Amino acid sequence: MAAVRDCRWLFPRHGIGLCCPSHYLLLLLLLLALAPSHVSSQGTVTINHWYLEVPTVVQHTVVGTEFSTEVTCSSRDTSMLPLFQVQGLPQGNLSLTMNSTMMPRGVQVVYNFRYMPVRGDEGHTFNWVFSCGDQDQILPPLTSTLSLKIELCAYTVVPMDTLTTLTRRYQLSTNWLNLWNANPTRVPDPDMNLAVGDIIKVGPVYHTMAGETLASIAGKFSTTVKQLLNVNPQLSVQTPDVELATGTEMCVMACTSLPNPWMVYKWAY
């Protein structure tokens, strides 16, 4: 009589044991299917029952234009109450609107994330960390980071804005000619009301070269250190003669009455 091998039965009712390599392969596939988490190229993070969808690339906006996006926290288990948290600064102009939906195979909470950049935000990149989990902390929460960069040298027009009122509201300059020269095709008449929601440039964005300081850049573009600091709140260097890191982005509001300042200040572009 042929000897019968002693098997360790995994599912006795179905006759599945660990007697042959195929059984070990089946067990491996089962373990892989139960793997705890993964991150997809679309920015979806999953861990067991939880899913968190947050934009993964750096987002962009300008002062006065609200940034808005959706952040989704969902679960395949309807018994788990979602716990959604956001951490990061600034919080003052941040708002979240929740929309909860029960699905056949789980629960989904969609948050409309909105941030309104204000004067002083330009040049900064803000990061908010989103957390998606359950209130009972049965499973560890998922986290993902949203990055938002506020562009330099750009401001948003509001109703009844002219070049004069825009410069005063954003405290940019007492000379509206600076903005007129920086927007020769967008603003044909300096006294006309600007289009609501339009983006007005106050000058070019300049990338510093090796050895440059605030004083040397001010001299190059016929402006002042005070004006450079006024339109570059992101700068950590405040001393005129301290060298800036090579490649630092700076807004340059050049003092000129020429109609095409790019012809004179070509290095700023």
Reading the chain (269 residues) residue by residue, the pLDDT tens digits are 444 444 444 445 545 454 555 555 554 445 444 444 444 434 655 545 677 888 889 999 999 999 999 888 887 776 666 677 788 877 767 777 777 776 666 778 888 889 999 999 999 999 998 888 877 777 778 888 999 999 999 999 999 988 888 888 888 876 777 777 788 777 777 778 889 999 998 888 999 999 999 999 998 888 889 889 999 999 987 789 999 999 999 999 866 545 444 444 433 33
Would residue 33 count as lying in a domain?
A: no
232 and 125 in a common domain:
no
pLDDT of residue 28: 46
What stretch of H or E contains 107?
strand 106-115
170 and 124 in a common domain:
no
Would residue 8 count as lying in a domain?
A: no
pLDDT of residue 89: 75
Q: What is the DSSP letter of 117?
A: -
Q: Residue 143: give the domain boundaries.
A: 38-151
110 and 196 in a common domain:
no
Would residue 67 count as lying in a domain?
A: yes
176 and 94 in a common domain:
no
pLDDT of residue 86: 82
171 and 140 in a common domain:
no
Which has the closest alpha carbon to 67: 119, 112, 129? 112
Structure tokens at 148: 């938002």
193 and 132 in a common domain:
no
Task: Provide the β-strand partners of residue 149.
Answer: 60, 125
Would residue 172 count as lying in a domain?
A: yes
Would residue 209 count as lying in a domain?
A: yes
pLDDT of residue 206: 92
160 and 146 in a common domain:
no
Would residue 120 count as lying in a domain?
A: yes
Residue that terminates a domain, selected from 151, 181, 198 = 151
230 and 134 in a common domain:
no
CATH number at residue 49: 2.60.40.10
pLDDT of residue 267: 37
**Coil, helix or strand for 254?**
coil
Would residue 6 count as lying in a domain?
A: no
CATH number at residue 226: 3.10.350.10
43 and 146 in a common domain:
yes
**Coil, helix or strand for 71?**
strand
Residue that terminates a domain, selected from 131, 151, 171 = 151
Contact present, 148 and 126 (Cβ < 8 Å): yes
pLDDT of residue 42: 44
Q: Structural domain tally of the chain?
A: 2
Would residue 108 count as lying in a domain?
A: yes
Give the whole-angstrom CA distance, residue 155 versus residue 146: 22
Residue that terminates a domain, selected from 151, 183, 217 = 151
Contact present, 251 and 202 (Cβ < 8 Å): yes
What stretch of H or E contains 226?
helix 225-230
Task: Provide the β-strand partners of residue 129.
Answer: 87, 145
125 and 46 in a common domain:
yes
141 and 91 in a common domain:
yes
209 and 231 in a common domain:
yes
Q: Residue 129: CB partners within 8 Å, gap ≥ 6? A: 86, 87, 88, 143, 144, 145
